[in-house]
A and B are shown apart, each in its own frame.
Chain A
Amino acid sequence: MAVGFYLKARHSFRARQSSAGLHSTAPNFSLPELNGHSLQLSDYRGKVVLLDFWATWCTPCREEIPHLVELQKKYRDQGLQIIGVSMDDSPEPVREFYRRFHMNYPVVMGNAGIGELYGGVLGLPIAFVIGRDGHISAKHIGATDASVLEQDIRGLLSQ
């Protein structure tokens, strides 16, 4: 029985992993922003989207935020939209962090569901770069140099 449960758990994890593979359509989701409004990924079709899974307690995530703020500022007019998905357990520390670090892009509160939808977010940070057509162009696991993200974004913005 234990073996059966184990195999089932493994299978479902692998199946989930394939749902957000490179070049596939980024799974749509609807999640609450910090202001209570609902954000839907499909509303950003036509823009280049950087989907950043992060948390306030994650040091490499925090270190990336100022760079993401800069990228959003620099490329907003060309069609870049960064969306933060906080994997914190509650919104309070996220709201405080958002104000303190003058974040200039929407942040939604994530949950296990979106983690599974994106192949299992079992370590942070993870960033997905999504093209104007809604397809996932790149996935970066762990701390990623801002220049790498910028290169991805520039390539997609010019398409």
Chain B
Amino acid sequence: MNTNLPHDPELVRRAQNGEAAAFGRLVELYAEPLWRCARALCGEDHEAEDLAQETLVEAWRSLRRFDGRGRFLTWLYGILRHRFLKARRKWRRGIQADEETVERPSREAEPPAAAAQAEEARLVQAALAALPDEHRAVLELRFFAGASLDEIATLLGCPLGTVKSRLHHGLEKLRRGKNGVNLLALSGESPVSKT
């Protein structure tokens, strides 16, 4: 998860002094979690890529505003949320993503193990996609992007208690398999209680 990401204040400081190479290194470190968060927010791959890119550009331009008190990634999340809200207003004006672009790149050439993993990923994504957006976003941010509950609250702009509640209800819906995808079958578990 995100705790594996190195927190390098020196790298950030060098970038703040205008060293583009240092920020390039930060981009390498944070591009993937940033894309995952963007994907969880907007639910679409290409839009997420644009969103992550815009976030990095904005971060580079306003890097001196980062005071180093929190995690650099959390600061990026704040920018990401701001960019997401702006982009959502634009999308609502009629620029809708093409549904076909949600498909992943071709996996025809993947080896069997990778194909099995890809199949599991496809099922998980299908199960998550069937959830209400507010539950899907929390689960993706938690399990795909590795964001903490506080970071999820920042990204979604909602109270911590709401994040906990959505996480609980989202997991409960997945467990009950009411969205048509039984993820417990993937893990070999059989539902023992339907409370």
Bind each other: no
* A interface residue numbers (CB < 8 A to B): none
Taking Cβ atoms with an 8 Å cutoff, the residues of B that contact A are: none
